[in-house]
Amino acid sequence: MNFHRPHPNAGRLSTGAGPGSCQETAACQSRASRTPGRLRRAQLRLAEAGAAALAPSDLDGRELAVLAVLAAEYPLSQLEAAGRLGIDRTTMVALVDDLERKGLVQRHRSPQDRRKNIVELTAVGLDRLRQAEQACPETERRFLAPLGEAGARRLVGALQILTFGQ
C-alpha cells in the first residue's frame, strides 16, 4: 500500500523559503495568495524593515507613534493620546512608562483636572523623534522600490482609499 503522508509543515504558515518551508506546499500557497495573506506578509516585511531602521534610535513603532502624536498636538492627556492612536488605556500607560523611563516624555497632573495626566515630550524626546523620522522615508522608499515610482504611488493611493475611503 502507498499511503500519502502530508508534508511536515502542511497547515503551518512560515515566512521562510526553501526545503520543508510552507512556501513549498500547495495549501500554504493557496492561503498566502489570498489578499489578506498578501497584505499581512507585506506588512510584516515592512514592520521588520521599520524595526531595523528604528533600532539606532532605541524606539519601536508604537513608541514612535506616541512621540509623533505628542509632537503634533501639544499638550495631550494620556487618554487623549490613546484615543488619537486607537489604543487602550492600559497599553498607553505602559508605553508612556517606557518612554518616561527613557527620558523622552514627562508626565504631570493637569491643572484643570487633577484626574488627568498630561504627557509632554522632553527635549531629548523631540530630538529622538526627529532622528527616528529621518529613517522612515528611506525605509519606505527601499520597501516600495521593486514597484517603481508609478507603482509605489498607485499602491499608496489604493491603500489610502482602502484605509480612509478617500
Tell me the domain boundaries of the chain: 23-139
pLDDT score at 33: 63
Alpha helices in the chain (DSSP H): 26-32, 35-54, 61-72, 78-85, 89-101, 123-144, 148-164
CATH 2.60.120.10 fits 23-139, yes or no: no
pTM of the full structure: 0.69
CA distances from 123 to 71, 112, 141 (A): 11, 24, 29
Q: Residue 38: is its pLDDT beyond 50?
A: yes
pLDDT score at 82: 93
